Amino acid sequence: MSERFFAENLAVGSRARLTGDEARHLAAVMRAKVGDEITLLDGSGAEFTGRIVAISKSSVDLNVVQRRELSRELPFELTLAVALPRGERQKWLVEKATELGVTKLVPLETERGVAVAKDSSLARLHRQVIEASKQCGRNRLMEIGQPLPALAYFSAIGSDRLRLLADPAGQSLGQLAPQSQAGVHVAVGPEGGFTSAEVAAAQAAGWTLVSLGPRILRVETAAVALAACVALHHG
Ligand code: SAH
């Protein structure tokens, strides 16, 4: 079975239980049987083999029989700080950022921001990360950070990190020399854009303004484009 399933805190020799949609999917759609082996992840960086020992209507029990260290992470830490869009576009952004290998997503609170990142919406985004990770083969989950005010965030990140702020008036991203910093932070503003005070604060803190071309991109497009370019060029 090529599909992967998620459970918390897996360890060889212990039991795991799938419930809810995952259990139903295994039992009803994939017609799993006792003795079948499936691939599991717990988000900690490894992949596991689980052997099914019991199936009921609402749960599937497994013995965890093997652990494989299998990293599909970027060779550096990539943090995406973004003023989240609403609804489906937010979901899309989280899915794509997970696929592209973003290490951590920080919801940025900006003056013109629209989405309020409540605990319930952060939990929903975390579930989105799990779904995307199952599909794309990632064994370490993208972290969803606590929301932070943009100004505080800009000044908190040290100069040992490459810090790029997406701004249509910035220098072309393609002209930026490849760098070898320990980590990269990229920031993307809300649909209304960062205010000039926010941009000035980032610049004062040493962030570089980078342009993604002459067209105005939506928040999630800019975030995904920037993450993809950085992943390619700074890996
Ligand atoms: N109304 C704003 C655009 C906001 S687009 C304006 O006219 O400036 C939302 C965010 O996406 C921006 O804050 C910026 O961070 C990023 N963005 C959009 N298009 C971009 C581009 N061509 N280059 C760099 N960043 C871009």
Whether residues 150 and 57 fall in one domain = no
Whether residues 27 and 116 fall in one domain = no
Q: What is the predicted pLDDT for the residue at 228?
A: 96
Ligand 1 atom, smallest distance to 165 CA: 15
Cα–Cα nearest to 146, from 166, 167, 126: 126
Where a domain ends, among 49, 69, 89? 69
Whether residues 139 and 59 fall in one domain = no
Whether residues 61 and 82 fall in one domain = no
Q: What is the predicted pLDDT for the residue at 161?
A: 92
Beta bridge partners of residue 219, listed in sequence order: none
Q: Whole domain around residue 196: which residue ranges?
A: 77-234
Which of 7-21, 90-104, 115-129, 204-218 is predicted with the least confidence, judged by mean pLDDT? 115-129
176 vs 202, residue with greater confidence: 202
Q: What is the predicted pLDDT for the residue at 235?
A: 57
Pocket test for ligand 1, best of 167, 210, 218 (most atoms within 8 A of CB): 167
Which of 38-47, 117-126, 127-136, 149-158 is predicted with the least confidence, judged by mean pLDDT? 117-126
Whether residues 15 and 101 fall in one domain = no
Whether residues 110 and 43 fall in one domain = no
Q: What is the predicted pLDDT for the residue at 141?
A: 98
Q: Tell whether the model's pLDDT for residue 205 goes beyond 70.
A: yes
Where a domain ends, among 14, 35, 69? 69
- Closest residue to atom 7 of ligand 1, CA basis: 193
Q: What is the predicted pLDDT for the residue at 129?
A: 98
Pocket test for ligand 1, best of 217, 220, 224, 230 (most atoms within 8 A of CB): 217
- Closest residue to atom 6 of ligand 1, CA basis: 193
* Helix or strand run (H / E) with residue 163: strand 162-172
Model confidence over 174-183: pLDDT tens digits? 888 767 667 9
Tell me, in angstroms, the distance from the centre of ligand 1 to residue 104's CA.
21
Whether residues 20 and 54 fall in one domain = yes
Whether residues 64 and 161 fall in one domain = no
| Backbone φ and ψ of 68, nearest 5° | -125, 125
Model confidence over 128-140: pLDDT tens digits? 999 999 999 999 9
Whether residues 18 and 91 fall in one domain = no
Q: How many CB atoms lie within 10 A of CB 212?
A: 20
Number of domains in the chain: 2
Whether residues 118 and 216 fall in one domain = yes
Query: What is the CATH classification number for the domain harbouring 40?
Result: 2.40.240.20
Q: Is 120 helix (H, G, I), strand (E, B) or coil?
A: helix
Whether residues 43 and 118 fall in one domain = no
The string of DSSP letters for 76-118 reads: SEEEEEE----HHHHHHHHHHHHHHT-SEEEEEE-TT------
Whether residues 151 and 197 fall in one domain = yes
Strand order of the β-sheet with 15-19 is 4-6, 37-41, 46-55, 59-69, 15-19
